[in-house]
Amino acid sequence: MFLRYNTRLLVVGVFIVGIAAGAWRYLEIDTSPPPTLPETASHVTADNSTAAPGLVEPNASSSSATRDTISDTGLSDAVTPLSLKEVLTVTSRFERQQLLERFGFDMAKEGTEAALRTLAEIAGPADRAIFLRGMFTHLAEDRGEAFRAVKLLAEDIDRETALSALVANWRREPLSLDAQAALVGRHGTMGGMVASLLGDPLLTAECANELLSGMQRAHLIGSASGLLAATDPQQALALGSRLEGKERTEFLLGLASGWARTSGAAAWAWCQQQADPALRDLLQEAIVSNWGAHDPAAAAAALGQIGNAESRQKLIDAVAGRWANADTKAAIAWANELSLPQERDAATAAIQKNAPSGIGIMLSEGPDGYPLIRDMVPGGTASSSGVLESGYQIAAVGNGSGQFTDLHGKNLQDVTSLIRGKPGSNVWLQVIRPGGTPAGRVTVVVPRQQIMFKNPPAP
């Protein structure tokens, strides 16, 4: 169990570190083949082990191995090749890994079965990972054979190692370490590696179809199809032609969500043609919630066509929240026009949650442990009232009953929550003017108002 855990960490390291930057040389998965050896310098021995000389290193200096001069520091400069058994006894980790990677690459040239027979002779999980890296660097040139070879491996760590090598060779652009870690966390190791290929939707769908199963496969094919739908909806739909039942539904939801982010009107028109009312309701929810991020006004207009009251209520909340961040004034006008009181109240609550009412100040941590007014929003009640200025510290917040909450050492988010409230209501603040002391604090009253956002639409 301990070895399996540590080997899994190695594979994740190969995927995250090797693909992104190759921070450690021995975990780096180079997209080019291992250094070329002379054609006459390698052969397969009678025990199926590849005999290979030392690798040509990046600086073009040679490092060869002999059968009788292996030392604790690595290999000598002689030219007689080593067998696999002898390579596995090399104590220099760097040189052993280079030789094992070369073995894997060369054995893959001999054929998948020959490479797998050699792999069976390697017991150490870390050594197997390096051999597989070289093997699948070569197999990456033929996708069909690469997928067949992965399926011939025992499930779990060997498959994950093989896929990490393929992804390293197939990815067009590197991902940041944080992005790769997030994908692994969201989709699992195999799914995360496939998801890292989404820059090429067709390749992603092919990998998912070949190497994943169940809802994980359906979800990633749906994500890939969503990226294609705006330019080729027929091809996007065809990606999920092999899926049925719940997997088909999961695929269609991914398609609808991605399509709505780029072409909401087209996705909506397609959705309305679905004969199954239950499926149509699900697709409508997916489209409107994602459409709202790009064009909340259009998404809000589509809400009138949704007959399911529960879905409509849920989407009103989502659209109002997104619209409040994009154009608060327009969102409020739309909410006020909703005919049903419960929907109007829900939309207003969502707007106030995402574009809250306050006094229009920007806070930072002050030198004495109290929040400091760093700046004031033009047009906000703090600037128009004349009772506050930048540089004031806020010592306490009250609600008009004479009771105040002291703010010394409090988190700025907690302070913001105390200051915010219902539009039109007042907030009582005890402030310390520049050069003053906590004992000399003064109380001021500032009315709250709805904060109005006006941002460009999401790309």
Residue 287: is its pLDDT beyond 90? yes
Residue 5: is its pLDDT beyond 60? no
Question: What type of residue is 140?
Answer: A
Q: Which residues pair with 161 in a beta bridge?
A: none
Q: Identify the pLDDT of residue 307.
A: 83
pLDDT classification of 294: cutoffs 50, 70, 90: confident
pLDDT tens digits, one per residue of 72-118: 333 334 334 688 999 899 999 999 999 999 999 999 999 999 999 99
CA 228 to CA 302: how far, in whole Å? 23
Q: Identify the pLDDT of residue 343.
A: 92
pLDDT classification of 311: cutoffs 50, 70, 90: confident
Q: Which of these ranges, 12-21, 296-305, 339-348, has the smallest mean pLDDT?
A: 12-21
User: CATH class for domain 357-450?
Assistant: mainly beta
pLDDT tens digits, one per residue of 345-400: 999 999 988 888 899 999 999 988 999 999 998 888 998 989 999 999 999 999 88
Residue 53: is its pLDDT beyond 80? no
Q: Taking the domains of the chain in order of start, what are their residue ranges?
A: 2-195, 357-450
Q: Identify the pLDDT of residue 352.
A: 86
Query: How deeply is 359 buried, as exposed, middle or buried, from its count of CB atoms within 10 A (0-12, 13-18, 19+)?
Result: buried
What predicted TM-score, i.e. pTM, was given to this entire model? 0.70
Query: How deeply is 235 buried, as exposed, middle or buried, from its count of CB atoms within 10 A (0-12, 13-18, 19+)?
Result: middle
pLDDT classification of 29: cutoffs 50, 70, 90: very low
Average pLDDT over the chain, rounded to whole? 83
Residue 267: is its pLDDT beyond 70? yes
CA 13 to CA 133: how far, in whole Å? 13
Q: How many CB atoms lie within 10 A of CB 311?
A: 16
pLDDT tens digits, one per residue of 416-430: 999 998 888 999 999
Residue 226: is its pLDDT beyond 50? yes
Q: Identify the pLDDT of residue 401.
A: 87
Q: Identify the pLDDT of residue 456.
A: 65
CA angle 364–376–379, rounded 5-degree value: 155
pLDDT classification of 62: cutoffs 50, 70, 90: very low
Q: Which residue has the tokens 């109240």?
A: 345
Q: Identify the pLDDT of residue 309.
A: 84
| Percent of the chain's residues with pLDDT above 90 | 65
Q: Identify the pLDDT of residue 47.
A: 39
Q: Identify the pLDDT of residue 458.
A: 56
20 Cα distance to chain centroid: 14
Of residues 147 and 50, the one with the higher pLDDT is 147
**3-state SS of the chain?**
CHHHHHHHHHHHHHHHHHHHCCCCHHHCCCCCCCCCCCHHHCEECCCCCEEECCCECCCCCECCCCCCCCECCECCCCCCCECHHHHCCCCCHHHHHHHHHHHHHHHHHHCHHHHHHHHCCCCCHHHHHHHHHHHHHHHCCCHHHHHHHHHHCCCCHHHHHHHHHHHHHHCCCCCCHHHHHHHHHHHHHHHHHHHCCCCCHHHHHHHHHHHCCHHHHHHHHHHHHHHHCCCCHHHHHHCCCCCCHHHHHHHHHHHHHHHHHHHHHHHHHHHHCCCCHHHHHHHHHHHHHHHHHHCHHHHHHHHHHCCCHHHHHHHHHHHHHHHHHHEHHHHHHHHHHCCCHHHHHHHHHHHHHHCCEECCEEEEECCCCCEEEEEECCCCHHHHHCCCCCCCEEEEEECCCCCEEECCCCCHHHHHHHHCCCCCCEEEEEEECCCCCHHHCEEEEEECEECCCECCCCC
pLDDT classification of 196: cutoffs 50, 70, 90: very high
Q: Which of these ranges, 41-55, 129-143, 284-298, has the smallest mean pLDDT?
A: 41-55
15 Cα distance to chain centroid: 14
Q: Identify the pLDDT of residue 81.
A: 67
